[in-house]
Amino acid sequence: MSGYLLSTPVFYIKCSNPVNSSLYVDTAPCLNINASSLVQQKTYSYVKVGVMEVGDLNEGCSAEWLALALLSYSKGHNTSYESVHSALMYGFELGVYWPDEIPPICQGQWSSNLKCFPHTIPVYESA
């Protein structure tokens, strides 16, 4: 399974205040989701390319939706929204593996991303 091109997650994020973070790519050059009426609060939209970790979401921000893209991404690399948009337009990879193609490393246990998980979780009993 190694050597396969995997799709990269692209999180669309909405924030109540402007954010200055190297993790976020501003969508303003291409996408404008600001409030259209005086009743709605002005919002700022960004994308976060790559896996989202707990500390990646700034205060006042929410992850609105997730897309997958064929996008080569390295952490700390400046990505433009134009390149993200192009990757989204290109599509994403969907892989299907037959059970006999996956190595039997988990020996009957559940597995996800080549990690094994038991069918039951042992319970700790206090004395």
**For the chain, what are the domain ranges?**
8-90
Backbone torsions φ then ψ of 25, nearest 5 degrees: -110, 125
Position with higher pLDDT, 66 vs 107: 66
Encoded tokens for 20: 């200055």
CA of residue 73 relative to chain centroid, distance:
12
- The Cα-based distances of 70 to 9, 13, 67, 86 in angstroms read 9, 19, 10, 9
Strand partners, 24: 48
pLDDT at 41: 73
Q: What is the CA radius of gyration of the chain?
A: 20
Tell me the pLDDT tens digit for each residue of 79-95.
Answer: 788 888 888 888 887 77
**Can you list the positions of beta strands (E) in 70-109?**
none
Quick check: 42 and 18 in contact, CB under 8 A? no
Contacts 24+ apart (CB under 8 A), 91-100: 92/7, 92/67, 92/68, 93/4, 93/5, 93/6, 93/7, 93/68, 94/7, 95/4, 95/6, 97/1
Tell me the pLDDT tens digit for each residue of 14-65.
Answer: 999 999 988 999 988 666 555 555 556 788 999 999 888 888 999 999 999 9
